């Protein structure tokens, strides 16, 4: 099943929570909830790889996150992960990589299970 295209609200970074439109489907809601529950571990891994300077592994994780977030209906996360992957692939300065990780971590922390109230 192809996830729906991100809505305008989903493609704008903000402090507000982001929700996957897939969570509206009763058959997919549990999968989305599990994905969100695993997000703190993903965030921790991003921090660890950044701190240790493991750029190739960080690029690989960003690539995986780009795909998995998109598949789970979290377009904004996918976009930010793609930005980090591009920065790492192009040999961007460390400050730019740090900033890209910070933006990605911020949006990852906004992911929520369920549907907006």
Q: Give 12-46 pLDDT, tens digit per residue.
A: 444 689 999 999 999 999 999 999 999 999 999 99
Which pTM was predicted?
A: 0.85
State yes or no: pLDDT of 10 exceeds 80: no
Mean pLDDT of all residues belonging to the chain: 90
Domains and CATH numbers, the chain: 17-112 (1.20.120.160)
Task: At 12, give phi and psi (nearest 5°).
Answer: -110, 120
Q: Residue 85: its pLDDT value, please?
A: 98
Of all residues in the chain, the percent with pLDDT exceeding 90 is 85
User: For residue 73, what is the DSSP state?
Assistant: T
Where do the DSSP E strands lie in the chain?
A: 18-19, 111-112
């Amino acid at each position: 099943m192809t996830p729906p295209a991100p809505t305008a609200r989903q493609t704008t970074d903000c402090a507000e929570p982001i929700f996957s439109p897939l969570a509206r489907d009763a058959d997919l809601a549990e999968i989305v909830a599990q994905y969100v529950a695993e997000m703190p571990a993903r965030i921790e891994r991003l921090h660890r790889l950044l701190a240790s300077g493991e750029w190739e592994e960080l690029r690989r994780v960003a690539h995986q996150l780009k795909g998995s977030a998109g598949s789970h209906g979290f377009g904004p996360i996918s976009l930010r992960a793609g930005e980090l992957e591009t920065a790492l692939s192009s040999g961007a300065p460390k400050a730019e990589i740090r900033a890209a990780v910070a933006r990605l971590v911020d949006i990852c922390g906004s992911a929520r299970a369920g549907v907006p109230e």
